[in-house]
Structure 1
Amino acid sequence: MSNQQTDGLVAEGGKRFLQDQASPAAAKRTLQMQGITLSEFARQHGFKYRTVSEVVRGVNKGLYGEGHRVAVALGLKRGP
């Protein structure tokens, strides 16, 4: 698998993942700077928009399940 890195994003397998982010707000800013909406990010990764929104707002801490997978894709947590 080849990784391409640009402005806080890592492209892998046709999906763009965020690099390590300090906070949900930082992840949201990175997406905004790249012109990617939360709904577009959710669609690209096969997540529910609501889950992505909850993780970015800090309502869902991403401890397990889809919330955790979203947090990993946003660069907030390390993968398994």
Structure 2
Amino acid sequence: MSEYRAEDVQRLQHLQHSGALKAEDAEWIADVLHRFKETEAQNKRLREALLKANGRKPTMSTKLRDALYE
């Protein structure tokens, strides 16, 4: 995803230099891109925490599994 983010920042800079955007619009877009970056980072942290939490706990105890299969 970082290649998309870098491309978005470059495109924003190009639009700013060409004068196609007002200053407040460019600031708003930069803020949206920043929030998107933070959301991606949070999503990555949550995925890692979920994988870590799922890896620690067995899905079913051995006694319960044996009782269900009898």
**TM-score, normalised by the number of residues in structure 1:** 0.28
Higher relative contact order (CA 8 A, sep 6+): 1
Who wins on radius of gyration, i.e. which is larger?
A: 2
Whichever structure has more helix as a proportion of its residues is: 2
Q: Relative to total residues, which structure has the larger strand share, 1 or 2?
A: 1
Task: Give the TM-score normalised by the residue count of structure 2.
Answer: 0.30
